[in-house]
């Protein structure tokens, strides 16, 4: 039986959606929702952000906290959300015009800062919403409403820009190469750092027809002629390649000081839940939390610093349930000193 549970992540009450029949955006939304559902991402742990354009409507159709930003500003909002709520999964769904033209400067600098967010770019090589003008990724020579005798300029090569950063994840796929498309989405969502999936997609109405394609399927076949898949880990992709180029950030492995002895579970200091409550960070007290039977001192966490000591209401408690739904919760905890165990 086909698993349709991904529909829980869609605002079906807002359907029918505004997109033209045959437009590739629907495939992007559906496959992103399917991948999120498989990973257990939901409205408790995930936010989505879009800019403006036909593609920019995607976030609004998701049953998640969604932000519809001004044109070109999706990455600024996404990075801000991730900064104040590092426990959330943050995903950007937008178009090539929104991300690469008016939002191009943010793309340069957000990718450089490498926040842990994923960007899905519906790259239909045109400004769809506004009537089919040439956009930043429109191939040279393409006839559009603003370039009736063929676009003059070379397109912006998103892959070349994004693969010059220190760590990076850039994937190029198409809405036609379904298995490849799904694999890229999944891998990008799991990538720790900034990941960008450039999804070649069709705007059949305001680009395809002008190019002489009668159906979306004819356009898909054209994608198949223009691009081919490559396998394995790459440093970068050539302009006609579909694949993944990535470079991981160097992970610093903390050295265990010589002579440090691992403390056995039974030798750890025990805390009852009542005792734990006293370590609430107030009035200079340390800030402890419980996780899976253990107690960690998270006083040094940046999330609990500053005048307002944000989130102190979460301290002095067993946060196992909360951290288990926060995808990187465990990673956040384990780097803090283990100071005891919870009394069952």
Interface contacts to ligand TPP, rule CB under 6 A: 52-55, 71, 95-98, 102, 122, 124, 126-130, 135, 203
Closer to ligand TPP by CB, 128 or 243: give it.
Answer: 128
Please, what is the minimum distance in Å from the beta carbon of residue 227 to ligand SF4? 19
Q: Which is nearer to ligand TPP, 220 or 291 (CB)?
A: 220
Q: How far is the CB of 14 from ligand TPP (least distance, A)?
A: 18
Closest CB to ligand SF4 among 81 and 206?
A: 206
Strands 65-68 and 117-123: unpaired
| In the complex, least distance from residue 178 CB atom to ligand TPP, rounded to whole angstroms | 20
Residue 197 contacts which entry, ligand TPP, ligand SF4, none (Cβ below 5-8 A, type-dependent): none
SS3 state at 47 = strand
CB of 213 to ligand SF4, least distance (A): 11
Closest distance of CB 55 from ligand TPP, Å: 3
**Which of ligand TPP, ligand SF4, none does residue 287 bind to, with CB < 5 to 8 Å depending on kind?**
none
Which two tokens mark 36?
């999120």
Q: How far is the CB of 203 from ligand TPP (least distance, A)?
A: 6
Q: Which is nearer to ligand SF4, 160 or 221 (CB)?
A: 221
| Residue 98 contact among ligand TPP, ligand SF4, none, beta carbon within 5 to 8 Å by kind | ligand TPP
Residue 130's binding partner among ligand SF4, ligand TPP, none (Cβ under 5 to 8 angstroms by kind) is: ligand TPP
In this structure, what is the dihedral angle of CA atoms 1, 27, 121, 14, given to the nearest 10 degrees? Answer: -100
Q: How far is the CB of 31 from ligand TPP (least distance, A)?
A: 16
Q: Which helix H or strand E contains 49, and what residues bound it?
A: strand 46-50
Please tell me the distance from the alpha carbon of residue 126 to that of residue 133, in angstroms, as a whole number.
Answer: 6
**In angstroms, what is the minimal distance from the CB of 48 to ligand SF4?**
18
Taking each helix axis from N to C terminus, what angle separates 104-113 and 74-84, rounded to the nearest 10 degrees?
30
Nearest to 78 by CA among 40, 41, 120: 120
Please identify, using beta-carbon distances, which residue of 26 and 286 lies nearer to ligand SF4: 26
Binding positions for ligand SF4, rule: CB under 6 A = 19-20, 23, 25, 54, 124, 128-129, 203-206
Start-to-end CA distance of the chain, whole Å, equals: 43
What does 242 bind: ligand TPP, ligand SF4, none (CB cut-off 5 to 8 Å by kind)?
none
- Choice between 95 and 327, CB closer to ligand TPP: 95
205 binds, among ligand SF4, ligand TPP, none (CB under 5 to 8 A by kind): ligand SF4
Q: Which is nearer to ligand TPP, 202 or 280 (CB)?
A: 202
Q: What's the CA gap between 139 and 313, in Å, rounded?
A: 53
| Residue 199 interface partner, choices ligand TPP, ligand SF4, none, CB cut-off 5-8 Å depending on type | none
Which is closer to ligand SF4, CB of 72 or CB of 135? Answer: 135
CA dist., res. 298 & res. 303, Å (int): 9
How deeply is 322 buried, as exposed, middle or buried, from its count of CB atoms within 10 A (0-12, 13-18, 19+)? middle
Residue with tokens 């629907």: 26
User: Could you say which of ligand SF4, ligand TPP, none residue 195 binds, taking C-beta under 5 to 8 angstroms by partner kind?
Assistant: none
The pairing of beta strand 168-174 with beta strand 195-200:
parallel
Close Cβ partners of 174 (under 8 Å, ≥ 6 residues apart)? 180, 181, 199, 200, 201, 220, 223, 224, 227, 242
Query: Residue 329 in contact with residue 302, Cβ under 8 Å?
Result: no
Alpha helix (H) residue ranges in 156-259: 158-162, 178-190, 209-211, 216-226
């Amino acid at each position: 039986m086909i698993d349709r549970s991904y529909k829980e992540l869609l605002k079906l009450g807002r359907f029918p959606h505004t997109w033209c029949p045959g437009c590739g955006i629907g495939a992007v939304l559906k496959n992103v929702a399917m991948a999120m559902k498989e990973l257990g991402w939901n409205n408790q742990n995930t936010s989505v952000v879009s800019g403006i354009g036909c593609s920019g409507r995607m976030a609004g159709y998701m049953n998640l906290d969604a932000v519809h930003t001004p044109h070109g500003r999706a990455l600024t909002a996404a990075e801000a959300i991730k900064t104040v709520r590092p426990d959330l999964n943050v995903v950007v769904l937008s178009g090539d015009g929104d991300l690469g033209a008016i939002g191009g400067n943010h793309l340069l600098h957000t990718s450089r800062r490498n926040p842990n967010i994923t960007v899905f770019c519906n790259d239909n090589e045109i400004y769809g919403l506004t009537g089919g003008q040439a956009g930043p990724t429109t191939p040279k020579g393409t006839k559009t409403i603003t370039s009736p005798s063929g676009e003059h300029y070379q397109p912006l090569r998103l892959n070349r820009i994004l693969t010059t950063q220190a760590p990076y994840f850039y994937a190029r796929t198409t809405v036609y190469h379904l298995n490849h498309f799904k694999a890229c989405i999944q891998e990008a969502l799991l990538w720790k750092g900034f990941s960008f999936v450039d999804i070649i997609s069709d705007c059949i109405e305001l680009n395809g027809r002008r190019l002489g394609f009668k159906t979306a399927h004819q356009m898909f076949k054209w994608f198949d002629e223009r691009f081919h898949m490559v396998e394995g880990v790459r440093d970068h992709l050539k302009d006609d390649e579909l694949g993944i180029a990535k470079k991981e950030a160097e992970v610093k492995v903390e050295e265990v000081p010589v002579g440090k002895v691992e403390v056995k579970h039974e030798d750890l200091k025990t805390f009852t839940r009542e005792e734990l409550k006293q370590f609430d960070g107030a009035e200079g007290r340390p800030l402890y939390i419980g996780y899976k039977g253990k107690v960690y001192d998270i006083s040094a966490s940046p999330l609990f610093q500053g005048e307002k000591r944000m989130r102190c209401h979460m301290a002095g408690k067993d946060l196992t349930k909360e951290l288990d739904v926060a995808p990187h919760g465990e990673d956040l905890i384990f780097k803090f000193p283990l100071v005891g165990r919870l009394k069952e």
